[in-house]
Chain A
Amino acid sequence: GAVVSQHPSRVICKSGTSVKIECRSLDFQATTMFWYRQFPKKSLMLMATSNEGSKATYEQGVEKDKFLINHASLTLSTLTVTSAHPEDSSFYICSARPRRSPGNTIYFGEGSWLTVV
């Protein structure tokens, strides 16, 4: 099946620094990638949708300047958490929709645990 890889799987950073999380579709071209955040004991929250070559569409309440999303190619999207704060500590998951996606199936990465200290 289609594989989506996220890196790093775990990262610890200091408050005030920036951290980048990569999401790669390994065996397909992804026209659309999604970024989610999962709070403890809560469901996934869609942060933004990115289409290759265009600006990401952010969900209401998500700070664009804090969570920078770049979808530079059909196989790579990055999420950069800028000026990280302990409140940004969370589990971040990306997903990707293949260019040809029967039934609109999307595939998820393994997720990235971010801890801001």
Chain B
Amino acid sequence: EVQLVESGGGLVQPGGSLRLSCVASGFTFSDFWMTWVRQAPGKGLEWVAYVKQDGREKSYVDSVKGRFTISRDNARNSLYLQMNGLRVEDTAVYYCARDAAAHNLFDYWGQGTLVTVSS
């Protein structure tokens, strides 16, 4: 059974940093692109970033470029999102998701972790 379990969310002040983690199981992690998608309270879904299988190629939504870094550790079956320079508008539930077809199609999602940026 495919499982994705996020952790690391919490309350942080504007300008602060946070590192999210996602541990995967039930599939060969190193075979898949992995993604972070976020959802602000009461709002829709927004793709944040992806990382390809070997961790070298990455892409980000414009609003987080230069502030967020996606990475992975295939030996640990883990995906990460380092978030620096956090803003109030980054407040959201952050979901880790598996890319089904190396094309930004998301077939499995974690339960999400809430990041709240507030003073």
Chain A bound to chain B: no
Interface residues of A (CB under 8 A from B): none
By a beta-carbon cutoff of 8 Å, the part of chain B in contact with chain A is none
